Structure 1
Amino acid sequence: MSHTAGILYPGYSAEDDYPTLEGLLGGGRRLPLVHTLMREDAHRVDALLDIGSPDLLADGARQLLEHGVQSVIWACTSGSFVFGWQGARDQVETLQAVTGLPTSSTSFAFVHAASRLGLRRVAVAATYPADVAEAFVAFLAAAGIEVVRLSSRGIITAAEVGTLGREEVLEFAAANDDDRAEALLLPDTALHSVAWLDELETRLGKPVLTANQVSAWEGLRLAGDRAVHEGLGTLFRQAAATAGTQAGGERRGSPD
């Protein structure tokens, strides 16, 4: 059986993680991607609110329908959590109304992935400026997830984040872990990560959740894929929970 999860991705930075994911997942799983308009590349609240605006996302979602997708993911963590819990839920519901398909966003994907792995205490290594990173902490708190350590790299543009390579990503993760954390979260979809997921987990000795990883997992879960996949970290080695219709309904517990 084939599973196709549509990815809405703002601008250009680490979108090549998705073809990498397709290759690692193997046949029968597709992650077609549509780039949404980014009028200003900035990890700044006003710019992020524009990047995640309903009209821009709706335009992209309609294009995804041409690819025969079974679910839709807004693959921009900061462009979802910056709206707050209810705003991010409204964002998902608006998108779902456009396509009629199961829909979620990267922010909710982190919550659902943490729930799937039974995580309650995490460390967050964010590439964002501090104020944006704090908004992600608040979003996780609304889901009952405690952030025991927050680190902010302070990078303004997604384009710059996308230039970070393997060694920089591994060092950034290792330097910002915490012994109290059950997992480390790397929340930016502009950050390349999927080729190094198992390496990240070996380095830290615990689960690592990254934005493009959880986005793909969420989309495939909503498309009905419940298979175990190797080479993509602890999350993909767990059989997916039963898919639901959309993502914003639970603060803790069941992913659906």
Structure 2
Amino acid sequence: MTRVGILYPGHSAEDDYKTFASVLGGDVELPVVHTLMREDAHRVDALLDVGSEGVLAEGARELAALEVDSAVWACTSGSFVYGWEGAREQVRGVREAAGVAASSTSFAFVHALRQLRLSRVAVAATYPDDVARHFAEFLAAAGVTVLSTASHGIATAAEVGRLDPDDALDFAISNDHPRAEAVLVPDTALHSADLIEPMEALLGKTVLTANQVSVWEGLRLAGRGAARPGPGTLFRSGASVVRSAFDGG
């Protein structure tokens, strides 16, 4: 049994991880520890607080007690708002507190793109525009070409968690770019496990969602990166060629 510990801020789409665990089979557990969210707001100052060192350390210590094999800070916006180096420091703190290999959703997106050898993307973000731009800047720092960035303008994670699946599907497929190799949907507050296959079928290209890459990253870090059935192209690709963002690049 492989246990990937998920650090998750507040409550919005944490049940998505139960869906992923079910699809991936009985050899994967995805225990969720909820971290403190003083204010549910897709606003930079609030997101910096959500991803602060003390908040994550407390959650990571809870994961350590659960004897997880890896840990993922499952909050895209609460990691990329720190910038590339700040997000790396954030992951180091989680790793030290949890005592296992760690990462965050923002770096999971980068690693997933490296695994798939994709570098041109369209971003369909549920966040307000200013927050979405921070994600585009984070990807650019990793050498990813962001061809377009669309914002849904949703102010809170709770609202995203209640987004109608058809609306989420329409938003993602409506904000593709003809030259993009993949469409990225960066919000762990969005239920996506059941949307990835329909999105990829409709678009004819790879779709990466926040909860999807978080689970994949945790399995990779736990040494369970073999190709497996799962939602989308990513899981079927395995994790054999990733150059880690924590190893100087």
TM range (shorter): over 0.9
For structure 1, list consecutive stretches of 5 or more residues without a partner in the other structure: 252-256
Structure 1 partner of 2:198: 199
Structure 2 partner of 1:224: 223
Structure 2 partner of 1:73: 72
> CA-to-partner distance for each residue in 1:155-187, whole Å, 9 max, x for gaps?
110000001122111101111001110000000
The answer to whether residue 246 in structure 2 is matched with residue 248 in structure 1 is yes
Q: Distance in 2 between matches of 1:145 and 1:27?
A: 35
Q: Secondary structure at the match of 1:225?
A: coil
Q: Distance in 1 between matches of 2:82 and 2:238?
A: 30
Letter in 2 for 1:100: G
Q: TM-score, normalised by structure 2?
A: 0.97
> CA-to-partner distance for each residue in 1:7-63, whole Å, 9 max, x for gaps?
000000111110000000001111100000100000000000000001000110111
> CA-to-partner distance for each residue in 1:77-117, whole Å, 9 max, x for gaps?
00000000000000001111112210000000000000000
Structure 1 partner of 2:106: 107
Structure 2 partner of 1:37: 36
Letter in 2 for 1:130: D
Q: CA deviation at 1:243?
A: 8.3
Letter in 2 for 1:165: D
Q: 1:127–1:155: 8 Å Cα contact kept in structure 2? A: yes
Letter in 1 for 2:54: D
Cα 1:188–1:89 change in 2 (3 A) is same
Q: Distance in 2 between matches of 1:33 and 1:22?
A: 12
Q: Distance in 2 between matches of 1:166 and 1:124?
A: 18
Q: Secondary structure at the match of 2:195?
A: helix
The answer to whether residue 23 in structure 2 is matched with residue 24 in structure 1 is yes
Greater shift in the superposed pair: 16-25 or 220-229? 220-229
Structure 2 partner of 1:91: 90
Q: Distance in 2 between matches of 1:174 and 1:78?
A: 21
Q: Distance in 1 between matches of 2:50 and 2:195?
A: 28
Q: CA deviation at 1:68?
A: 1.6
What aligned pairs does 1:54-73 form with structure 2 within 5 A after superposition? 54-73=53-72
Q: Secondary structure at the match of 2:194?
A: helix
Q: 2:115–2:241: 8 Å Cα contact kept in structure 1? A: no
Q: CA deviation at 1:229?
A: 2.1
Give the paired residue count: 249
Q: Percent identity?
A: 60
Q: Distance in 2 between matches of 1:226 and 1:93?
A: 21
Q: Secondary structure at the match of 2:183?
A: strand
Q: 2:64–2:97: 8 Å Cα contact kept in structure 1? A: no
For structure 2, list consecutive stretches of 5 or more residues without a partner in the other structure: none
Q: 2:121–2:183: 8 Å Cα contact kept in structure 1? A: yes
> CA-to-partner distance for each residue in 1:134-175, whole Å, 9 max, x for gaps?
000000000000110110011110000001122111101111
Q: CA deviation at 1:231?
A: 3.7
Q: 2:21–2:29: 8 Å Cα contact kept in structure 1? A: yes
Q: Distance in 1 between matches of 2:104 and 2:248?
A: 14
Q: Distance in 1 between matches of 2:235 and 2:248?
A: 21
Greater shift in the superposed pair: 6-15 or 225-234? 225-234
Greater shift in the superposed pair: 216-225 or 93-102? 93-102
What aligned pairs does 1:5-20 form with structure 2 within 5 A after superposition? 5-20=4-19
Q: Tell me how large the CA RMSD over aligned residues is.
A: 1.4
The answer to whether residue 111 in structure 2 is matched with residue 123 in structure 1 is no
Letter in 2 for 1:85: W
Q: CA deviation at 1:250?
A: 4.4
Q: Distance in 1 between matches of 2:239 and 2:141?
A: 23
Q: Distance in 2 between matches of 1:136 and 1:243?
A: 20
Greater shift in the superposed pair: 107-116 or 93-102? 93-102
The answer to whether residue 155 in structure 2 is matched with residue 165 in structure 1 is no
